[in-house]
């Protein structure tokens, strides 16, 4: 006896809707999120209601909760080293804005020291970066 052939199901028929969802998620994360370079120090800036938009492509100075300093993606050991590196960077691109990104729990005295250093190398104005409060 010949049995009627059972309809063959493609094995990956059910995966098509899943691929659609995964693609949508992928596009969402690509468009909505911003890729941030890894930070050399763990810094969690304070939250604030007000503030201007953060500058684009700045020279970034990081201060973590223990007062350690980093410039861009490298940790600097001392204020002298920070000043020297800043000087080099500002000579390369004097128009680049400078931002200071201190941890919420960092000592404000450290922030003032960094501002002094910035002024010493000729960066008159710096932006203090905060996180937008939810």
Partner 1 sequence: MRLEQPPRRRRLVSLTPLIDVVFILLVFFMVASSFVEWQAFSVSAPGDDAASERDEAPLRLRVEHQGYRIDEAALTATELDERLQAVHAEDAERRIYLLVGAGVPVRRVVQALDAASAAGLSHVAVRRGEAE
List contacts with partner 1 (CB under 8 A): 8, 10, 12, 15-16, 18-19, 22-23, 25-26, 29-30, 32-36, 45-55, 63, 99, 102-109, 111-112, 115-116, 119, 124-132
Residue 47 CA to residue 130 CA, distance in Å, equals 6
Report, in Å, the least distance between residue 59 CB and partner 1. Answer: 13
Give whichever of 87 and 107 is closer to partner 1, judged by the CB atom.
107
Q: How far does Cα 40 stand from its chain's mean position?
A: 11
Give whichever of 52 and 92 is closer to partner 1, judged by the CB atom.
52
Among residues 39, 44, 106, which one has the least CA distance to residue 70?
A: 39
Residue 100 CA to residue 19 CA, distance in Å, equals 42
Give whichever of 71 and 100 is closer to partner 1, judged by the CB atom.
100
Report, in Å, the least distance between residue 34 CB and partner 1. Answer: 6
Report, in Å, the least distance between residue 105 CB and partner 1. Answer: 5
Give whichever of 19 and 42 is closer to partner 1, judged by the CB atom.
19
Instruction: Tell whether the torsion through CA atoms of 86, 91, 93 and 98 is positive or negative.
Output: positive
Residue 48 CA to residue 133 CA, distance in Å, equals 5
């Amino acid at each position: 006896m010949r049995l009627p052939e059972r309809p063959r199901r493609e094995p990956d028929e059910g995966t098509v809707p899943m691929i659609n969802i995964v693609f949508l998620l992928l596009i969402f994360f690509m468009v909505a999120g911003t890729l941030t370079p890894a930070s050399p120090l763990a810094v969690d800036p304070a939250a604030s209601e007000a503030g201007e938009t953060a500058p684009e492509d700045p020279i970034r100075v990081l201060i973590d909760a223990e007062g350690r300093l980093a410039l861009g993606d490298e940790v600097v050991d001392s204020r002298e080293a920070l000043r020297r590196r800043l000087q080099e960077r500002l000579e390369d691109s004097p128009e680049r804005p400078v931002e200071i990104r201190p941890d919420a729990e960092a000592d404000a005295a450290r922030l003032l020291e960094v501002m002094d250093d910035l002024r010493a190398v000729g960066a008159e104005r710096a932006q203090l970066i905060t996180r937008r409060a939810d």
